Structure 1
Amino acid sequence: MTRLAETSADDLRIGARPLLVVDVDEVVLQFVAPFKAFLLAHDHELRLETFSLNGNVISLEDGRRVENTEVKALISAFYDSQEDWQKPFAAARETLHRLTDIADVLLLTAMPPEHREKRRRLLARHGFDFPLIASEEPKGEVLRDLCETRPPLLIFVDDMLYNCRSVSHCLPEALTINLLIDDDYRALAPQTTPPSVVATGWDHLEEIIRRHIAENV
């Protein structure tokens, strides 16, 4: 795959090599820890009692759980300033660059496209020079459309199981990997169920990917 600054899936040209599609928040870039810090700087606190942002953001001014619309606004404000807060997980960049010897890499981030340019700059600053798609559409549908004419061997990585299920539904032959790096975050997450498999870190993820490609190419 040619490394271009794509703005949509329509700009991509998929080749015959295996395609590794990787989520960004809490997979490539840390999200939970910097979002907690961002909220505290804005008089809010994230208390993860369930595996969701909605219902778990507390206003420090009056102690109330903020409404979902306010959570959405806080997330948008965080994305506006993401370049000041987010950093990559250790080993993410090195692992993805190693994997380019056997696969093309595409980053697929679930965010409004208006935040894409800041995300692209942030990723480039940390050496993630891979194509990037920002979309709020179901990830399975995005990838089904992308791979419509020439589906490669597809591997999809995401921290959200519902995104893995979306891809499995639209592209049943894809390997979907539920990457849950943080122990506390993993404890709250829904249990990973087939056909998806769970990975607990970037080393474990690389092992799964290399084994799958070796067995299927």
Structure 2
Amino acid sequence: MPEPTPVLPDVLDQIRALPASGNKLIICDVDEVILHLIRHLEDYLNDRDLMFLQYEYRLTGNIGRAADRGVLSADEVRRHLLAFFDEISHAQDLVDGADRALGALSDTWDIVLLTNLPGSHNKPAREKLLASLGIPFPVVTNSGPKGGAVAALAANRSGPVVFIDDSPTNHSSVQASLPSSVQIQFIADQRFLAAIEPETHIDLLTGDWQETAAYIRSIL
């Protein structure tokens, strides 16, 4: 189990700017949870004669050339990801049911969107897109494992905290930093969902927002 992750100073500044509240809290990822990511990234890769080598949760070592399956270097993957987010952050598709589920839950829960998004210039585009899709909740941008940010968001809350994310790394980080949280691993892409073996700290593994909303309601 990893050690608890400290919250980054710029992330803490964003969290401190949020309205104070002691209400129960849902901390929700964006990519592959609210907005599709994998289908857009696969299109981006295919257009460049690249591909996922396996349906598993890693990018470095898992993106290669379609012609010979040659693996891209970490620097090449990073460069493509930066270009990809610049290209798609304003135009990602909504995961079915995310708007309805979060809208209904927001009647009784505070909701904060915690997203790892390269390039601070992409945050306004993401906020605008989410708002246009009926998801007007505050967006906090993070970098790296999310445990420290989740613990900071949960500070001074008396009610339960639910963390929704697709990444095994982020869930492990949250387990180390805030083990009392309810952890929902949500993966919209059915191929990647089917390939996941959930860790014992995952309370629900799903790719369905109706199931997710019902589970969160059952917590109370």
What amino acid sits opposite 1:139 in the alignment? K
Aligned to 1:203: 210
TM-score, normalised to structure 1's length?
A: 0.86
**Alignment match, 1:92:** 98
User: Percentage identity across aligned positions?
Assistant: 27
In the aligned structure 2, how far is the partner of 1:62 from the partner of 1:198? 34
| Greater relative CO, 1 or 2 (CA 8 Å, sep 6+) | 2
1:21–1:155 CA contact under 8 A, matched in 2: yes
Code of the aligned partner of 1:89: V
Alignment of 1:31-46 (within 5 A): 31-46=37-52
TM-score by length of 2: 0.85
Match of 2:7 in 1: none
State the partner residue of 1:68.
74
State the number of aligned residues: 208
What residue identity is the alignment partner of 1:76? Answer: L
- Aligned-pair RMSD on alpha carbons? 2.2
82-91 or 191-200: bigger deviation: 191-200
The AA in structure 2 aligned to 1:190 is E
Answering whether residue 26 of structure 2 is matched by residue 20 of structure 1, we say: yes
Query: Compared with structure 1, are the counterparts of its residues 211 and 74 closer, same or farther at alpha carbon in structure 2 (3 Å cutoff)?
Result: same
3-state SS, counterpart of residue 206 of structure 1: helix
Deviations 1:24-67 (A, max 9, x none): 11000001111010122233222325332222222347652211
| C-alpha contact 1:16 1:152 (8 A) present in aligned 2 | yes
- Unpaired runs of 5+ residues, structure 2, are 1-11
CA distance in 2, matches of 1:49, 1:181: 13
* Secondary structure class of the residue paired with 1:8: helix
The aligned runs of 1:153-168 (5 Å cut-off) are 153-168=160-175
1:10 corresponds to: 16
Give the alignment of 1:83-122 within 5 angstroms. 83=89, 85-114=91-120, 115-122=122-129
| Contact 2:188-2:208 within 8 A present in 1 as well | yes
Matched, 1:148 2:155: yes
188-197 vs 151-160, greater mean Cα deviation: 188-197
The letter for the 1-side match of 2:194 is A
Structure 1 unpaired stretches of 5+: 1-5
